[in-house]
Chains A and B, each alone.
Chain A
Amino acid sequence: MSLLSVRDLSTEFKSGDRWLEAVSDVAFDLQRGEILGLVGESGCGKSTIAYSVMRLLAHNARIRSGQVWLGDVNLAALDEQVLQDLRGRQISMIFQDPATALDPLFTVGHQVFETLQEHLDLEPAAARKRALELLRQLGIPAAEQRLNAYPYQFSGGMSQRIALAIAIACQPQVLIADEPTTALDVTIQAQILQLIRRLLVDEGGAGVLLITHDLGVVAQVCDRVAVMYAGKIVESGDVHSIFSNPLHPYTQALLNSLPSKGIARGRLENIQGQVPGLADRPAGCRFHPRCPQAKAVCREQAPPLKQVSARQEVACVLYD
């Protein structure tokens, strides 16, 4: 059984007196011991999925339909009180900007103890011991002194380590990481990604949903990938298949637009036009107005995600 199973999830935002769909009929599974990358450009709905799964949506947003199964519990329909107890214990989240994810008014030690005491009912001495252990595991130097420091005294990389310490304090089964290294320098990014892989996945057997716009990060740390465009998953599969044999024209275009080694000083391929806004997503396949291979049928029919090989699913009429 999957750790996390999202089924037909649609989430919408209120704009004036209309509700606009940001995420449409999204489904995916996260397995034990894997990192699943959810990748796409700004506005494709990848963060909205994260907030929907955690039920941390803003007041102007709501899940319109669908289920989010954490084991045999449907988080989408769960009582807020019960959910509160699961968040941080069985499913945790870290965010893009580590500086704003921590409370500036409390020491980082307090913020780590709070999680431990709330969920594990530890004695203060035991909680302190566990907190120290966590900070050391996360490579924070002089951990004992650092417990008494405030978030402003930490660099971005150190703050993200603290946020990660809080997120994994109760050894959750699922971690949702929303652009966890986007605000960090590359050497620090590599350290944080390595920690996530080692502590959670390899040692803890947890599953990680890694949300990112960075295809390099996906290639380096993910086992499987789901590519999103305009609120839908257009392709998913194991990371090697997606990078060596991308099927959806959008995935192909995205990979071709990367300036990377081997294509020095040539023209980069780019995708004509722009990502449509929430209010003007086209009918049919949402990528058709920008797709170099669009046919007449693409204007009318929205293709469903279909299994095309043992390791790949794609939503495109070219593979019917």
Chain B
Amino acid sequence: MSSTTEGQRPLLSAVGLSKYFPLETGLLASLRGDTATVKAVESVTLDVYAGQTLAVVGESGSGKSTLGRLLLRLLQPSAGQVLYQGQDIFSMKRAETRAFRRQAQIILQDPYASLNPRMRVDQIIREPLDIYGEGSKAERQKRVSDLLERVGLNRNHERAFPAELSGGQRQRVGIAAALALSPRIIIADEPTSSLDVSVQAQTLNLLSDLQRDLGLTYVFITHDLSVVQHISDRVAVMYLGKIVEEAPTETLFSEPKHPYTQVLFSAIPLPDPSRRMNWDLPKGEPPSPLNPPTGCHFHPRCPAAMSACSHTVPRFQSVGRDHGVACLLYDEEAGT
């Protein structure tokens, strides 16, 4: 799998995508003129190419899950567009939306919360087929069996309730349901975060196999950089609603440019006691998205901050082949 994107048209793109959540809604707030908002996602632009995996990485509150939901039109944006094969998904007509939803599916983090506890495994996987009226009843049941086998489960699991399955098995059911309508793109929101490492390995291998065999495109949302390196072609790093750096995976891991990306790498505990981390960590915690710092959002914690960083919003610009970063350190025109 290559991360070369030249000459290819993206399958899915976000263009200047923003989502602001109002803090207070209702009559009183509007009478008071209370319009405080949380800027969960702010002017995000990115491209996802067919057959590839784009990882979106960030810590709690970085807006990565909100971005994932916007990409599937599960939320309405405050500004910007999401283009699927060149068409804006937010201005699609009903029938077009329905067609889009067949092709774009989601896998959620918590397989305990995301499966209906009162439905049996075969019903859960068959539901999308029923909704879209795929084939005859017998054909749908056959498809369910095929899907179960595809994700490494078997007929014995068909009549089970989610409570009878382990976390790893439940996540497989979630994956089978996402695959039911043969989508082209899957947004996977922390699909292995609640799994033990050995089960995580099984699940990541399954996702890789499916991508290879079915030509799937993934947007993989995660906080875990070791998983990112394993599964993705490209990586976008988010901090407080913005993409601060984007690059092919190898480039990002070998030459991280943004000070936040560097900090994030230095804080990952590597499973190698002979390479212990230096404990020279950024002070403080990510600021509240309610009241983000002016200028570059990262400047109060940044080890390389300059005076301009507190009032100049850095532009996202190219620093190499396919490699972009939003930081004044790499902007020759700014900072003066």
Contact = CB atoms under 8 A, between A and B. Distances in A.
Contacts of A222: 273
B33 interface: no
Given A267-B205, A268-B205, A260 B200 contact: no
Interface string A184-224: 01111111011000000000000000000111111111100
B229 interface: yes
B282 interface: yes
Contacts of A258: 197, 201, 226, 271
A3 B61 CA distance: 41
Contact of B271 (A139, A158, A255, A267): A255
Interface stretch (A16-24, A166-174, A237-245): A237-245
Interface residues of B, number: 45
Nearest to A42: B196
A52 B201 CA distance: 31
Interface stretch (A88-96, A106-114, A269-277, A305-313): A269-277
Nearest to B279: A194
Contacts of B166: 274
B59 interface: yes
Contacts of A261: 226, 229, 253, 270
Interface string B241-263: 00000000110010000000001
Most buried by A among B226, B269, B284: B269
B285 A243 contact: no
Contacts of A188: 285
Nearest to A274: B166
B286 interface: yes
Contacts of A221: 269
Interface in B155-191: 166-168
A187 B267 contact: yes
B198 interface: yes
A240 B196 contact: no
Interface of B: 1, 59-60, 166-168, 196-202, 204-205, 208, 223, 225-227, 229-231, 249-250, 253, 263-264, 267-274, 276-277, 279, 281-286
Interface of A: 41-42, 139, 141, 155-158, 185-191, 193-194, 213-222, 239-240, 243-244, 253-255, 257-261, 263-265, 267-271, 274-275
29 contacts: A41-B197, A155-B285, A186-B59, A186-B264, A187-B59, A190-B277, A190-B279, A215-B271, A216-B271, A217-B269, A219-B270, A220-B269, A220-B277, A222-B273, A240-B274, A254-B197, A257-B198, A257-B200, A258-B226, A259-B201, A260-B226, A260-B270, A260-B272, A261-B270, A263-B230, A267-B205, A267-B208, A270-B201, A271-B198
